[in-house]
Structure 1
Amino acid sequence: MQPTRPVALVTGVGRTAGIGAAVARQLAADGWDIALTHWNAYDARMPWGAQPDATRQITDDLTTHGAATLAIEADLADPDTPARILQRTRSELGTPTALVMCHCESVASSLLDTTIESFDRHFAVNARATWQLIREFALHLDTTHTSPRIVALTSDHTAHNLPYGASKGALDRIVLAAARELAHLDVRANVINPGPVQTGWITPDLARELTAATPLRRLGTPTDTADLVAFLCSPRGSWITGRLLHSDGGLSAP
């Protein structure tokens, strides 16, 4: 009899070139079943546009690794969405023991031109939904499994990216709080700052500038982040919790 594969819930898996997709692929290769969320309406209003066939392509990739999959279209600005995601995951795949949050709202604006609507949506998606997902994850953990994992992606943007950077700062605090508040459930919770990752948004001029500023002299890739997530979700990452980890080729080094 084959052992049961653990279940990971990965949010923000909307494009084949994205970090979320790379994370899902790597976890599937490591033996996880994967529930994933996407929100096509977000991609449609971004410069790269919607990728209508992305979900099928990604789930096809996951099944080549033997993973059972569940794809959920989910607007995380809706406060009822996180509970629905976790309920569907539990009923259709099983109780997740890893929660990896790659979702975001990211529309650049500054102190003087950010709208109330944009500010509120960034905090709803990047901060409130993160808290709600963690809460739902923790409330229904299967205690027969050990060392549940929470990993979230963050950013250090500030100037001219006010609502995104501020809401990601709130995300950091929420996830790091989980490392202490959920320790009695054996949860490990960490945040990754991947730095600038080329998923299609970095222009050639910006790529040259960032590459020159990075000690390892290249841009980050989705696979770079996925490798660290997979490590943190593995038994080898069991002694790491409550950390904000920079995985950026040295860009943030003093």
Structure 2
Amino acid sequence: MSLTDGRDQQHRPVALVTGAGRSAGIAASVVVTLARTGWDVGFTYWTPYDERMPWGADPEAMTQLSGQAAEHGARTVAVEANLADPHTTADIFEAVERELGSVGALVLAHCESVKSGLLDTSIESFDRHFAVNTRASWLLIREYARRFRGSHGTGRIVSLTSDATVGNLPYGASKGALDRITLAAAQELAHLGVTANAIDPGPTDTGWMTAEIKDAVLRATPLGRLGRPRDCANLVAFLCSPDGSWINGQLLRSDGGIS
């Protein structure tokens, strides 16, 4: 059911999605899926991160996303934001509110993810992972709560997490901390009527997998296929819908059974 069924099409609720810098990513699929189900969407991206990763920058992604969302009647605003900077949070909300209105749903889909283990992780990398994946998420949730003006029971926070550990220490550890922040929000923001849930989408094919990784994932997944961005996006959209309002304070493993 579309969120706008029975509502004035000119008054769509507003979602903020972080980390939508690549058209192949989960966040991009979340933006389009939320647009299709009745939301206007603000989204963030950070080109320098993509530039230093193996897949490289995707300079057309923001235009493509906005165009795809517009096909579903959604307004969008793209905000370039360095989430390692603790002072950027308020600016993101200001930009989205200025163009679209008050944010009703916050989807944390951004990440810093550089593989390294216990013995080879640098202090700089460790700190950057926690700055982006953990501290920024806390600050975004805090800013969202301070600004939330929606009706009791309509607010939504959804964070994307991971159970990565071995060989991916700073990423997995910072995502574990994100889980705890999200679950705390489910209790501490109860007075606002905001639900907060974390999704572990499992290994998802967004262009980072080698042939060897794909083969290993296929053999380990009971359903015998790779995760797709839209698998996670569909769950995000459900959690953000009125039908998802009774799910709160949960860590949801939507991973085809690989866990």
Asked if these proteins are the same fold (TM beyond 0.5), I'd say yes
Question: Which whole-Å deviations, capped at 9, do the CAs of 1:6-37 have from their partners, x for residues lacking one?
Answer: 00000000011100000000000001000000
**Equivalent runs, 1:37-186 vs 2, <5 Å:** 37-144=44-151, 146-186=153-193
Q: TM-score, structure 2 length as denominator?
A: 0.95
4+ residue segments displaced more than 3 Å: 143-146
SS of the residue corresponding to residue 79 of structure 1 reads coil
Q: CA deviation at 1:146?
A: 4.0
- Distance in 1, matches of 2:237 and 2:159, equals 12
| Code of the aligned partner of 2:142 | R
**Equivalent runs, 1:9-28 vs 2, <5 Å:** 9-28=16-35
Question: Which whole-Å deviations, capped at 9, do the CAs of 1:125-182 have from their partners, x for residues lacking one?
Answer: 0000000000000001114464200000000111111100000000000001000000
- Distance in 1, matches of 2:198 and 2:170, equals 19
**Equivalent runs, 1:197-236 vs 2, <5 Å:** 197-236=204-243
- Distance in 1, matches of 2:217 and 2:98, equals 44
Q: How many residues align?
A: 252
- Distance in 2, matches of 1:71 and 1:108, equals 28
- Distance in 1, matches of 2:50 and 2:241, equals 31
Q: CA deviation at 1:77?
A: 0.1
Please give the root-mean-square deviation of Cα atoms over the aligned residues, in Å: 1.0
SS of the residue corresponding to residue 227 of structure 1 reads helix
Q: CA deviation at 1:83?
A: 1.3
Gapped regions of structure 2 (runs ≥ 5): 1-7
Question: Which whole-Å deviations, capped at 9, do the CAs of 1:12-71 have from their partners, x for residues lacking one?
Answer: 000111000000000000010000000010000000000111111111111111111100
- Distance in 1, matches of 2:150 and 2:253, equals 31
State percent identity of aligned pairs. 62
Q: TM-score, structure 1 length as denominator?
A: 0.97
- Distance in 2, matches of 1:149 and 1:192, equals 13
SS of the residue corresponding to residue 242 of structure 1 reads coil
Q: CA deviation at 1:222?
A: 0.1
